Amino acid sequence: MALDVAWAVDWARESARTVVEHRDELVELDRQIGDGDHGENLKRGFTAVVGKLDALGEPPATVGDVLKLVATTLMSTVGGAAGPLYGTAYLRAAKATGVAALDAAGVVALVEAALDGVVARGKATTGEKTMVDAWSPAAEAAAAAAAEGDDPVAVLTAAARAAAAGAQSTVPLVATKGRASYLGERSAGHLDPGARSTQLLLEAAVVAAGG
C-alpha cells in the first residue's frame, strides 16, 4: 500500500481512535509519575484534529499538509509538555516529507525528523524516561530496515516495533526530564506515558497502512 495523502489522513484518524481507546490507560500511567492528564490531553488534541479534517472543504493535498494540520492543532489544543513536543515533532516531520507518497527513505526521514523535533524542544536524550526513548529506537530501526531494502510499510512496521520495545525500556528508568523527574528514584518501576503514546501513534501509522 502507498504511503500517500490518503494514508496520512487515515493515520490521523486512527491516531484519534487509539488515543481515545487508551485514554484511561495513559491517564493512569501519568497519574503514577506525573499529573494524570496525558490521556485527556491527547484525546482533546486528536479529537480536534479529526474535527478539522471533517471541516475541510477539500482534502489536504500532500502528506506534509496532513502532518502540518496535526502539528498546528496539537500545539493549539494540547497543554503541558506533550503539546509542544508532539507539535514540533509533527511540524518537523511535515517539512521532511515531499509531495509524493513516501518511499522507504521517506519513512526514515519522517521518523528521524519527528525525533529531532522532540529533542530540539525538550532537550532530552535516551535513558531519561521520556518519549525520546520510543522515538530514538524507532528512528534507528527505520534506518536499519531501509538499509536492508525493506519496503515503506515494512520500514514503518520496524519503527513501530522498536517504539514498543523502547517504551517498555522506560519502566526501570529514573526520570531526569519532565514532571516525572520531580519524583527522583520513585519514578522507577513505571512506564513513561509519553513513550507509551509514541508507541500507540506509530502503531496507528502501521494500521493505517494496512499492516
193 binds ligand ADP (CB under 6 A): yes
Return the residues of window 69-128 that contact Mg ion according to CB under 5 A: 80
192 binds ligand ADP (CB under 6 A): yes
- Alpha helices (H) in 78-151, listed in sequence order: 82-96, 104-122, 132-147
131 interacts with, out of ligand ADP, Mg ion, none, CB within 5 to 8 A per kind: ligand ADP
35 binds Mg ion (CB under 5 A): yes
Q: Which is nearer to ligand ADP, 147 or 182 (CB)?
A: 182
Rounded-to-integer distance, Cα 21 and Cα 170, Å: 22
User: Of 9-17, 28-36, 96-104, 145-153, which segment contacts ligand ADP by CB under 6 A?
Assistant: 28-36
Q: Which is nearer to ligand ADP, 152 or 178 (CB)?
A: 178
Shortest Å distance, C-beta 7 to ligand ADP: 26
